[in-house]
């Protein structure tokens, strides 16, 4: 996160650190992406975060990577499901969304505590100009990756502005939206991918976007591009339902 501040303990209880370990290797886990807890056994993240060659784990309830915090819960990923129309091209990623099913213990995965809680899915679209919050352990203006979980406020930018020639032009597709500050400085960055953009409506917080891509970080007229979670609600619901039926 560029232009962020250290998160207050317990203020982002749905935040996930997605970590990998090479299969069979003795190496420790390393943070690769963010994610968001939507059910005790389900994490939403970006499609480009999934690397089937690695064993993945979802870490929730932590603030500082590499510290042994008593609030942390570490959950193994049982199955990673990338959207069937996920595509990567040189300057745009589309349908950048994936679901992680966590390994359960008698039907429970993440346990709700003061530091671990699921986030609600969106019901209605947000207005352009709304202020929302991004968070993650990704690159900052000073360093590649942050040990501390950081957060920052961003504004939702309308599709016309973001598709203008000075910004991203015609590459911006459906199921994506831009957020940030066109003057630059405050933005998500590498390592924040798959993590949350949270908005508030009627006092309730919900997951509105997932960090997806951008032309570098914090640059003027190059805001962050986010996967629009509301666009994928049917996919999320049918995919989680189908996976539960498969495992029943």
Active site residue ranges = 48, 96, 193
Q: Is 217 in the site for ligand 4AZ (CB under 6 A)?
A: yes
> In this chain, which stretch among 65-73, 145-153, 189-197, 230-238 interacts with ligand 4AZ, using CB under 6 A?
189-197
Q: Is 228 in the site for ligand 4AZ (CB under 6 A)?
A: no
DSSP 83-98: -TT-EEETTEEES--E
By CB under 6 A, name the one of 177, 187, 196, 229 that touches ligand 4AZ.
187
Task: Give the span between the Cα atoms of 169 and 37, in whole angstroms.
Answer: 33
> In this chain, which stretch among 57-65, 169-177, 184-192, 197-205 interacts with ligand 4AZ, using CB under 6 A?
184-192
Q: Residues with Cβ < 8 Å from 188, sequence gap 6 or more?
A: 1, 2, 134, 136, 138, 180, 195, 197, 211, 214, 217, 224
* Identity of the residue, 87 or 111, whose beta carbon is nearer to ligand 4AZ in the bound complex: 87
Name the nearest CA neighbour of 16 among 192, 232, 180, 213.
Answer: 192
Q: Which residues in 75-94 contact ligand 4AZ (CB under 6 A)?
A: none
By CB under 6 A, name the one of 193, 227, 228, 239 that touches ligand 4AZ.
193
C-alpha distances out from residue 167 to 108, 170, 181, 199, 239, Å: 44, 9, 12, 23, 34
Q: Is 130 in the site for ligand 4AZ (CB under 6 A)?
A: no
For binding to ligand 4AZ (CB under 6 A), which residues are involved? 187-190, 192-193, 211, 213-214, 217, 224
């Amino acid at each position: 996160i560029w232009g962020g501040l250290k998160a207050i303990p317990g203020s982002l209880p749905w935040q996930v650190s997605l970590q990998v370990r090479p299969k069979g290797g003795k190496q420790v886990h390393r943070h690769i992406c963010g994610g968001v807890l939507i059910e005790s056994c389900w994490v939403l993240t970006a499609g480009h975060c999934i690397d089937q060659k690695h064993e993945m784990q979802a870490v929730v309830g932590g603030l500082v990577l590499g510290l042994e915090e008593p609030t942390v819960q570490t959950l193994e990923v049982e199955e990673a499901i990338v959207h069937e129309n996920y595509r990567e091209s040189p300057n745009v990623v589309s349908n950048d969304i994936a679901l992680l099913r966590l390994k359960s213990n008698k039907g429970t995965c993440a346990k709700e505590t003061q530091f671990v809680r699921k986030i609600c899915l969106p019901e209605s679209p947000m207005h352009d100009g709304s202020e929302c919050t991004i968070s993650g352990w990704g690159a900052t203006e000073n360093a590649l990756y942050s040990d501390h979980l950081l957060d920052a406020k961003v504004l939702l930018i309308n599709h016309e502005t973001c598709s203008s020639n000075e910004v991203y032009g015609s590459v911006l597709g459906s199921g994506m939206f831009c957020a940030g500050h066109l003057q630059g400085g405050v933005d998500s960055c590498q390592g924040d991918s798959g993590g949350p953009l949270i908005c508030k409506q009627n006092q309730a917080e919900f997951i509105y976007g997932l960090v997806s891509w951008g032309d570098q970080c914090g640059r003027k007229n190059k805001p962050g591009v986010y996967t629009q979670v509301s666009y994928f609600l049917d996919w999320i619901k049918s995919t989680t339902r189908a996976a539960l039926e498969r495992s029943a």
